[in-house]
Amino acid sequence: MKIVVDAMGTDDHPAPDVAGAVLAAQAFDETMILVGARSKIQQELDKHDTTGLSIEIVHADDSITMADKPHEVLRGKPQSSMHVGIQLVKNGEADAFVTCGNTGAALAVSMFQLKRIAGVKRPAITAVGELGGHLITVVDVGANTDTRIEWLQQFAMMGNLYSERVLGVKNPRVGLLSNGTEDTKGDVLVREAHPVFETMSFKFAGNVEPKDLFTGNVDVIVTDGYVGNIMLKTYEGTMSALGNILRRELQSDWRSKLGALLLRPYLRKTIRLMDPTQYGGAPLLGVNGVVIIAHGGSTAEVIKNAIGQAKRAVEADVINIIKDGLTTNTAGEGEA
């Protein structure tokens, strides 16, 4: 298997990107293709022991920044690491693409080069994480801010298949995100989607609330990209703020420092249980190729995990799984 890593993706590129690829090559024994400025990538690679590892470099003259607008990079930066890397997947020279770069640009370039899977109305960014010891999938978390019922149907179908076939969750329970569990709650989209979801082939758990990220009552949460993105960023912000508060309070005096010393192993375990980065990145479901998008501030360990997720998606043949799912689900009929 060959997995492309956008070496110019993170905020501190290429150091974390290269280090993550090295960790992945060691852990998974697959070929990593680092795309970006060759000299900078090689300089970072020289800091690691790569003996026996299969790591290649493909040069790209340009890179996409977080400030670049998605619609401008399609033709404005054709030699970016993102363009070159996704092109390798399109040409069959690689099996998957992993980036920590500009999410909007990754979506735009993937759509432009890989196209949608036939029958998919809109691709969706899918957050995957293990929270409180329970594996949860949320779709969509940012690709589509204004959504139609038929798109939500496909998000649910793709999320259900990914949870079951890639993540190994048996008979996933799919919930529709709302402000209450009653079928009368939610905005117009949610209220109209609820009876439609009841007719679909997956196990519908009804309306769920944001707290169900942690309860274990549902395996897949379906929402539009606007609400999903806000929920994701709220969670990330809350965890960051909580971490800062704990560090400050546990260092405030000698008693708290002593307590922190005693609690350290339990705090670390708790943090791991609430850390969504164990799965590394967000699969972009619906495009005709495996694409994983991770956070710009990702560490080498997170990037390794994102590459691992790409590996699992390829091994599970997720693209053909979605194609087959569309042929057996009424949500896949027609084009938008």
Q: What is the DSSP string of 257-273?
A: HHHHHHHHHHHHHHHHH
How far is the C-alpha of 122 from the C-alpha of 326, rounded, in Å? 13
Q: Find the angle CA(323)-CA(326)-CA(149) to the nearest 5 degrees.
A: 135
Average pLDDT score over residue span 18-33: 97
The pLDDT value recorded for residue 335 is 42
The pLDDT value recorded for residue 285 is 96
The amino acid occupying position 23 is: L
Q: Is the pLDDT of residue 256 over 70?
A: yes
The pLDDT value recorded for residue 330 is 47
Average pLDDT score over residue span 84-91: 97
How far is the C-alpha of 190 from the C-alpha of 186, rounded, in Å? 5
What does pLDDT average to over the chain? 90
The pLDDT value recorded for residue 331 is 40
Percent of the chain topping pLDDT 70: 95
Average pLDDT score over residue span 187-202: 93
The pLDDT value recorded for residue 145 is 87
Q: Is the pLDDT of residue 201 over 60?
A: yes
Average pLDDT score over residue span 298-315: 94
| Rounded alpha-carbon distances, angstroms, from residue 181 to 139, 193, 234, 292 | 18, 14, 21, 31
- CA of residue 11 relative to chain centroid, distance: 17
How far is the C-alpha of 141 from the C-alpha of 127, rounded, in Å? 7
Asked whether 131 and 175 are in contact (CB, 8 A), the reply is no
Q: Is the pLDDT of residue 332 over 60?
A: no
Asked whether 115 and 287 are in contact (CB, 8 A), the reply is yes
> Residue 308: which pLDDT band, with cuts at 50, 70 and 90?
very high
The pLDDT value recorded for residue 262 is 83
Length of the chain: 336
How far is the C-alpha of 325 from the C-alpha of 120, rounded, in Å? 11
Asked whether 120 and 332 are in contact (CB, 8 A), the reply is yes
Q: Where are the alpha helices (DSSP H) in the chain?
A: 15-28, 38-45, 70-76, 81-90, 103-114, 149-161, 188-197, 212-215, 225-249, 254-273, 300-315, 318-328
| Rounded alpha-carbon distances, angstroms, from residue 177 to 12, 136, 182, 262 | 35, 13, 11, 39
How far is the C-alpha of 10 from the C-alpha of 34, rounded, in Å? 13
The pLDDT value recorded for residue 259 is 84
Average pLDDT score over residue span 102-130: 93
Average pLDDT score over residue span 103-121: 94
Q: In sequence order, which residues have a C-beta less than 8 Å from that of residue 209 and are 6 or more positions away?
A: 177, 178, 179, 180, 181
Average pLDDT score over residue span 155-174: 94
Read off the pLDDT of residues 270-280 as tens digits, 9 standing for 90 and up. 776 666 666 67
Neighbours of 155 (CB within 10 A): 32
How far is the C-alpha of 119 from the C-alpha of 283, rounded, in Å? 18
- CA of residue 240 relative to chain centroid, distance: 19
Percent of the chain topping pLDDT 90: 70
